[in-house]
Structure 1
Amino acid sequence: MCGLIGIVHKTENVSDSLFQGLKILQYRGYDSCGMCIVDESEFDVYKELGSVSNLEKYLKNMNGKIGIGHTRWATHGSRSIRNSQPFVYMNIALVHNGIIENHLEIKESSTDYEWKTETDTEVLLKMAYDYLQKFNNDWDLVLQKICETLEGSFAVSFLDLNDQNKIYFVRKGLSPISISVGKDYACVSSDCSALSGIADHVFDLEDGQYGYVAPNDIHVLPNFNNKKREIIKIDNNDRSQQTWYMSEFYSQPVVLMNVLKSINNFKWPEMDTPEYIHLLGCGSAYYASCVGKHWIEKIAKIPVNACIASEWVNNINSGLVGLVSQSGETADTIAALRRAKKDKKTIGFINSMGSAIAREVDYLIPTFAGHEISVASTKAMTGQMLSLFIWTSKLAGVDRTTELYDLFKEMNSFLEIIPKLAGPVSAACSNKDNLIILARGNLVPITKEASLKIKELAYIHSEGMSLSELKHGPLALVDSGKILIVMAPSSSPFWTKILSSIEEINTRGGKVVVLTDKPEIFTHLYMTVKMPYVEDDLAPFVYILPFQWLAYDLALSKGVSVDNPRNLAKSVTVE
């Protein structure tokens, strides 16, 4: 899940462009970062732990027309400068994203080399150098042999001091890499958005492809017939709040209105109505899929299996397989897609149009949520839900556009008062190590998404579940110190059962916080949050919002990074 970038230019110093690209790539990992510039036939390497901003102080010292950069999400080896990339050996420098599964076997067999890091990446460095000697500096043979010999999923970019006008690359497995060439420049990156300040187009490499780029020169093997696509320009300074997370949180009404307009103008793929649907995703995308399951089964009357992508087994003969992913590069979801393609049609609900999943599915429905930078998802998840809801409406032959427009128009004013409404809840939860969030029906997946947000941002264990499951074991957790947060919209078909469950918790001494449009019913409880009335089908769009804010406020109270939660990365490109 690391990020890599490489740039070569005929006349210009590339260090600032590399730095700007790394700032965009930081969502892929922020354990450490580094840059390598070729300056007067030598590698000039700078590395820092933590944020890419820590590299800025070195820019005044960097001067070169070719270079590579890296943001690290540690998979092998501790978070240290020693294990940080770029790596350099003799005349070679490299940056790597992915996992080399047979690296230990190779290290054990290389008794003539002293390994300097704890990483799998160093195997690539040693192997590339050895093959260059063996194959008389024939990079095509070197890269081909690397693909054949190494197991796993990886994307790598190399610099060679003996050829300072080219960036070499190889891709194997699920790790993405895109390339671009112009008259005066050439560049490569894990994510084309990192190249948006340099290029206007990219070619996305396929599994097993390798080669090099140089200004006005592109060389890719085998079978280079990849489609050119435009890059969506990214403004990394377009932030209305102190964090990207809150900028994206407050943008949701506008984003969802734009999604609604875009998707209604979208030419829908022609397909037969499926008899059975599988919806697959990971993390927030999986919970969006679970909400979609409720909608499709209720409104369109089609049975749905919602499953975590990595756990899905293709053992049902029929059905359309839906893949839900923000990045379109999620490794577990791509692996599930390739299992599905053996005997089923596939449809993608994808935010990144040029991604691997978007390219490989039979049918595509974009989520149109725009570039999401914060690691913890807000607008991408609600955009996924909206795409699934509109698809459900199409399957059922109904039009809910007016209801949705009205809902999103009112959402802005609700977002503005959430801090006042939910502030007391945050204060009560800030010293808790465990929370339980409860609901019924189509809000059960929202309890799980809410818990995920709290875990991601505030590092507090939280568990989301159905109220109906409470009596089947978890009720044993309830005591006078436990806070349980319940979503209780009066429009729910389970309204009376929700009331009964709340009283059962209260009877046993639990501190019950109720989110409801009828707070007057619950004045005897620990706390209430006044919610707007919303029709049952649309409740997930509204009830997730206070929890997105709550996770943020709890993170602030603990003094932890909101945009860069520990141990996480935005795009999970390894299984």
Structure 2
Amino acid sequence: MCGIVGAIAQRPVKDILIEGLKRLEYRGYDSAGIALHQGDQITRVRAAGKVADLEAAAQELVQAGKLDGKLGIAHTRWATHGKPTERNAHPHISFSENDGPKLAIVHNGIIENYEIIREELKAKGYEFTSDTDTEVVAHLLNSLVTSGLSLMNAVQAAVAQFEGAYALGVIELSNPERLICARLGSPLVIGIGSGENFIASDALALLQVTDRFIYLEDGDVAELTLDGVSVFNSEGEAVEYPVTKFEHGVDSASKGEYRHYMLKEIYEQPEVVKHTLEGRISQDKLLEQAFGPKAAELFDQTKAVQIVACGTSYHSGLVAKYWIEELAGIPCNIEVASEYRYRKTVLVDGTLFITISQSGETADTLAALKEAKKRNLMGSLVVCNVPGSSLVRESDLCILTNAGPEIGVASTKAFTTQLVSLLLITIALARRNGLAETAEAELIRQLHKLPQLLADSLELDEAIQKVSEQFADKHNALFLGRGIMYPVALEGALKLKEISYIHAEAYPAGELKHGPLALVDADMPVVTVAPNNELLDKLRSNLEEVRARGGQLFVVADDKTVGHYSDDHTITLNEMHSILEPIVFTIPLQLLSYHVAVLKGTDVDQPRNLAKSVTVE
């Protein structure tokens, strides 16, 4: 959600900035812009639409040699305040007395008290040309610099006035050798080069120029020059952070031979699940020490679990609730983060607070954790894919999913690796609550089989592609599941609506007669996940209700139950242990959504109105 790139170098940085924006396109955006220090002026170009539209708008300036500056900032905007137009696109600028741009800024996040600041600035004579909350940042900095503060001190003074969240990049006409940045509640990293330095919302944006990064903490303000980086905390004290090497290669963020990132990431799941398991299980035992030195202590004290997450991560948490209560025998609550943070909640003694987030920067989830930590929380654990992210730093314990970069907005491999990580946590908790060594050994042996089961499920791709043709003219769909497969149905419905724009809803199959059955007719596809478990007979009765009303059934079954659905569109998986069913049964639903979206001609990797990392409320 929004993307920042900035650079200071001994070479022109325009191409670095543009390439960085392209690498951030997965986050979701509706306009883009760039500003470069050009000696005696700051040159800005903005465009509504894609980065390609920005490049086209800048072409004349490029040919005239007016975009060859060695200091610059760039941005992709996801509209919050004001429509997605050029006038609202970043960078925003503030003028000097001779009407030339005095400074330029880019901003992620939301300045909640911007209206008050804007009125104060208007009273000083500043004119506003956009509908955004961001423009107040540019004019406030201009006002502070005009009063005599250095650019660094001006940024420090400005952020002290802001309420809300921000990541900022700032350049000033009279400071050609400095790039200033700051962050609070919105991610920002510093890329370390040789005689050049960079900023970005995500390390992926800078992998073409560096693999070494500094991860800023909330409240930090930093100054980048050609020679180095200086970081100051919210108290104005100089701080030093380690330089972290990015562990994934540049190729992990490319599509390779695949048509879309989403398809590539679906096919990566057998391999990335191996990475999730690696070093955490032996042949027949969970290696708990791999979770970190505090893990055993926290697990020993855990009497209850509270899970907080959003979107796809919330669905993985719903699956974990079934596992934890069944295998560990302790109560587990799961709640959407945006609801949890704004209501009165009760945390019982001995609660392990688990957050789940692909990016580790999800604003609502991060805020929920911070709120919970104010109440003498026993301990916190995050399931996350990004080392060094805000949730990782805020949590007592972190389990990295090791899925590698996920570029497609609709999450696939992040979901399955979250499930695997949560199952490992469940086994650790179950150990302390009566899980026999033989039972643990059997679960571990089944986990060893999981990568191959996932690979086998991908061989159904061609058959699923044919089934997807039945959805090409549909506008609505129902997804059904029983027990632990209900969250899988929820995730399947979410994927279909996200990328194909078909309205899709999921229900527990037993709720069918309590309302959704009224929607069933020949034009309503009903997708059902139907493994061979103790609820199968109940599920069959629900499907008969659909058949009786002329509904069109699409059943994901295993080879022990497929015979019961011979008259329906059936996708057949190999038989597996019940503990693995939520993970493996997810794959056909991902492929179905993908192929339906391709048939409908939507933007699979960047669906409209959505962002990969939701860093604002």
- Normalising TM by the smaller chain, what interval? over 0.9
The 2-side partners of 1:296 and 1:283 are apart by: 20
1:418 aligned residue: 461
Residues 1:231 and 2:246 are matched in the alignment: yes
The 2-side partners of 1:43 and 1:68 are apart by: 11
Residues 1:523 and 2:540 are matched in the alignment: no
The 2-side partners of 1:237 and 1:376 are apart by: 16
The 2-side partners of 1:415 and 1:48 are apart by: 40
Tell me whether 427-436 or 392-401 shows the greater mean CA deviation. Answer: 392-401
The one-letter code matched in structure 1 to 2:88 is N
The 2-side partners of 1:248 and 1:424 are apart by: 21
The 2-side partners of 1:283 and 1:128 are apart by: 37
The one-letter code matched in structure 2 to 1:507 is A
User: Could you report, residue by residue, the CA deviation over 1:467-510 in whole angstroms, capped at 9, with x for unpaired residues?
Assistant: 011122222222333221111111x2201111111112212332
Q: Is the 8 A contact 2:556 2:570 kept in 1?
A: yes
Q: Is the 8 A contact 1:4 1:69 kept in 2?
A: yes
2:167 aligned residue: 155
1:559 to 601, 605, 614: 601
How far did 1:116 drift? 0.9
User: Could you report, residue by residue, the CA deviation over 1:381-412 in whole angstroms, capped at 9, with x for unpaired residues?
Assistant: 10000001122122223132321222321322
Q: Percent sequence identity over matched residues? A: 36
User: Could you report, residue by residue, the CA deviation over 1:238-280 in whole angstroms, capped at 9, with x for unpaired residues?
Assistant: 5230111111011111111222114437722322331100111
Q: Is the 8 A contact 2:224 2:230 kept in 1?
A: yes
Tell me whether 494-503 or 406-415 shows the greater mean CA deviation. Answer: 406-415
The one-letter code matched in structure 2 to 1:337 is L
The 1-side partners of 2:138 and 2:544 are apart by: 63
How far did 1:49 drift? 2.8
Residues 1:127 and 2:140 are matched in the alignment: yes
1:470 to 512, 526, 534: 512
How far did 1:55 drift? 4.1
2:97 aligned residue: none
1:93 aligned residue: 104
How far did 1:340 drift? 1.6
2:6 aligned residue: 6
User: Could you report, residue by residue, the CA deviation over 1:503-522 in whole angstroms, capped at 9, with x for unpaired residues?
Assistant: 12212332222221233222
The one-letter code matched in structure 2 to 1:411 is L
How far did 1:573 drift? 0.6
* TM-score (norm: length of structure 2): 0.88
1:310 aligned residue: 338
Q: Is the 8 A contact 1:143 1:211 kept in 2?
A: no
For structure 2, the residue ranges without an aligned partner over 5 or more in a row are: 95-100, 282-286, 432-439
Residues 1:456 and 2:498 are matched in the alignment: yes
The 1-side partners of 2:330 and 2:493 are apart by: 28
Q: Is the 8 A contact 2:31 2:89 kept in 1?
A: yes
User: Could you report, residue by residue, the CA deviation over 1:114-165 in whole angstroms, capped at 9, with x for unpaired residues?
Assistant: 321111111111111111112x142243222212222211111110110101
Q: Is the 8 A contact 1:47 1:81 kept in 2?
A: yes
Q: Is the 8 A contact 2:457 2:587 kept in 1?
A: no
The 1-side partners of 2:214 and 2:223 are apart by: 13
Q: Is the 8 A contact 1:376 1:457 kept in 2?
A: yes
2:186 aligned residue: 175
Find the residue that maps to 1:316 and give its secondary structure: coil
Tell me whether 162-171 or 268-277 shows the greater mean CA deviation. Answer: 268-277
User: Could you report, residue by residue, the CA deviation over 1:184-215 in whole angstroms, capped at 9, with x for unpaired residues?
Assistant: 11221112232223333322222222241112
What CA RMSD, in Å, does the superposition of the two structures yield over aligned residues? 1.9
Structure 1 segment 116-515 matched on structure 2, within 5 A: 116-134=129-147, 136-172=148-184, 174-221=185-232, 222-228=236-242, 229-232=244-247, 233-235=249-251, 236-237=253-254, 239-264=256-281, 267-268=290-291, 269-271=295-297, 272-273=299-300, 274-312=302-340, 313-318=344-349, 319-342=351-374, 343-344=376-377, 345-397=379-431, 398-399=440-441, 400-420=443-463, 422-490=464-532, 492-515=533-556
The 1-side partners of 2:290 and 2:562 are apart by: 43
Tell me whether 207-216 or 366-375 shows the greater mean CA deviation. Answer: 207-216
2:27 aligned residue: 28
The one-letter code matched in structure 1 to 2:468 is S
The 1-side partners of 2:459 and 2:40 are apart by: 56
How far did 1:542 drift? 1.4
Q: Is the 8 A contact 2:82 2:88 kept in 1?
A: yes
Find the residue that maps to 1:441 and give its secondary structure: coil
How far did 1:299 drift? 1.4
Change (3 A) 1:305 1:498: same
For structure 1, the residue ranges without an aligned partner over 5 or more in a row are: none
1:102 aligned residue: 113
Change (3 A) 1:433 1:203: same
Q: Is the 8 A contact 1:6 1:189 kept in 2?
A: yes
**Number of equivalenced pairs:** 569
